[in-house]
Amino acid sequence: MKKSREKFYDILIKTQLTTPLYLRTIWLFTYSDMKTIMFPQSIFGAITAYAACMFEQPHVSHGIVGWLLVRYPLALFWTWSNLLPFNIFNQLSEEAIEEDRINKHWRPLPSGMVSREKAASIMRKHYIFAIIVSSCIGGLRQTLSLIILGTWYNAGGGADRSFIVRNLINAAGILSFATGAMEVALGTRLLLTGPSTQWMSILASIIFTTVQTQDLYDMEGDSIRNRKTMPLVIGDTWTRWYTALMISIFSLVCPAYWSMRWYGFVLPFLLGVLISTRTLRWRTPEADKRTFQLWNAWLVSVYFLPVVRYLDLGC
């Protein structure tokens, strides 16, 4: 399977496809985060906007067809437009390029598809583009937040010096993607209400206490870059037990917060048990990568809870 993926990546790099080089380049910059940021957070935005009345937000009705065909694609586009410059920034340093030569040689910089200077130019242009997009369709506050967080994370040592700061930036960044996509899907500015503040605080707590799942499979690379991730600071075993415990707790707390019936507990709980079990029992990098993918699926199952409650109650 691993050889097949590497062959696929090599084909993407070497084969002259009908898509222009520029489009292939920006696609490869964001490819790794499609399943972790782009789709989960745009899905959050769309489904939470659909249940906006649960958060005392003004519900702008576009009709189900318009919502699916217009609002969600806009949320997806907004998420990608903000993800691209962050990804380039994250892959731009010499240390990142050297690390990618080992693990992700198909990316534009280690593969030689673009130079660092060209990548930096693309990054700056797309940060401007993201601001323009957000000014037109919504999510400007979140875009500005992502620029600040991305600079702190990639250039200010936020990713390297403390796992507490690293997790904090990750939580704030993921929520910025999620709420920005929600604002775009809703079609109006988000209001700071009690229910929305409480739910976003719970989600921030989930991400802050469990996002180190992504650090378990890359301890070797993080060690080379002297990053102070949780498993490297407090140890692999302690990190796994802590992560499994927090996932198990939130798998019950979140459905209980929404006063769900029994079926509202099923998916988050089963996924939580699966992830906790895998975290403790299967400890190879490949197994940890799959566990992190399941963590993203678990997070989406939590995102759906307000919608399930909305369908139960209406507004």
- Please list, in sequence order, all residues whose beta carbon lies within 8 angstroms of the beta carbon of residue 114, skipping any fewer than 6 positions away: 25, 108, 122
Q: What is the pLDDT of residue 19?
A: 54
Alpha helices, DSSP H, located in the chain: 2-14, 21-30, 39-50, 63-66, 72-90, 94-103, 116-137, 140-155, 163-186, 194-210, 219-224, 230-234, 236-257, 262-281, 285-303, 305-313
Both tokens assigned to 257 = 């917060």
Pair 25, 166 in one domain: yes
**CA dihedral for 127, 130, 132, 135, sign (positive or negative):** negative
296 and 182 assigned to the same domain: no
Placement of tokens 């003004």 in the chain: 58
Q: What is the Cα–Cα distance from 40 to 301, expressed in whole angstroms?
A: 10
Supply the DSSP symbol for 68.
Answer: I
Indicate whether 186 and 196 sit together in one domain.
no
Residues 175 and 224 in one domain: no
Sequence-distant (6+) residues with CB within 8 A of 151 are: 89
- Asked if residue 115 and residue 8 are part of one domain, the reply reads yes
Kindly state whether residues 147 and 4 are assigned to the same domain: yes
243-269 exposure pattern, b = at least 16 Cβ within 10 A, e = fewer: bbebbbebbeebbebbebeeebbebbb
- Of 191, 225, 259, the residue that ends a domain is 191
Same domain, 186 and 208: no
Residue 16 is predicted with a pLDDT of 39
Range of the domain at 89: 1-191
pLDDT at 13: 47
For residue 284, the tally of other CB atoms under 10 A from its CB is 9
- Asked if 217 and 165 sit in the same domain, the reply is no
Q: Report helix angle 39-50 to 305-313, nearest 10.
A: 20
Return the DSSP state at 111. Answer: T
What pLDDT shows up at residue 8?
47
Looking at the structure, do residues 52 and 187 belong to the same domain, yes or no? yes
Number of domains in the chain: 2
pLDDT for 315 equals 58
Please give the C-alpha separations between residue 191 and each of 40, 58, 226, in angstroms, as whole numbers: 22, 8, 41
Q: Is 98 found in the same domain as 228?
A: no
What is the reported pLDDT for 306? 93
Residue 187: CB atoms within 10 A of its CB come to 21
| Selection from 137, 44, 141, 145 nearest residue 86 by Cα | 145
Same domain? 9 vs 149: yes
Domain boundary among 191, 224, 250: 191
Full pLDDT tens readout for the chain, 315 residues: 555 555 544 544 444 334 578 888 888 899 988 888 999 999 898 888 888 888 887 766 655 666 667 788 999 999 999 999 999 999 998 888 888 887 788 899 998 888 899 999 999 999 999 999 999 999 999 999 999 999 999 988 888 889 999 999 999 999 999 999 999 988 888 888 889 999 999 999 999 999 999 999 888 888 888 889 999 999 999 999 999 999 999 999 999 999 999 888 999 999 999 999 999 999 999 999 999 999 999 999 999 999 899 888 865
pTM: 0.87
pLDDT recorded at residue 186: 87
- What does the pLDDT read at residue 314? 63
End-to-end CA distance of the chain: 48
Are 305 and 213 members of one domain?
A: yes
Q: What is the DSSP letter of 61?
A: -
> Rounded to whole angstroms, how far apart are CA atoms 129 and 57?
28
**CATH number of the domain encompassing residue 138:** 1.10.357
- Which of 191, 222, 244 corresponds to the end of one domain? 191
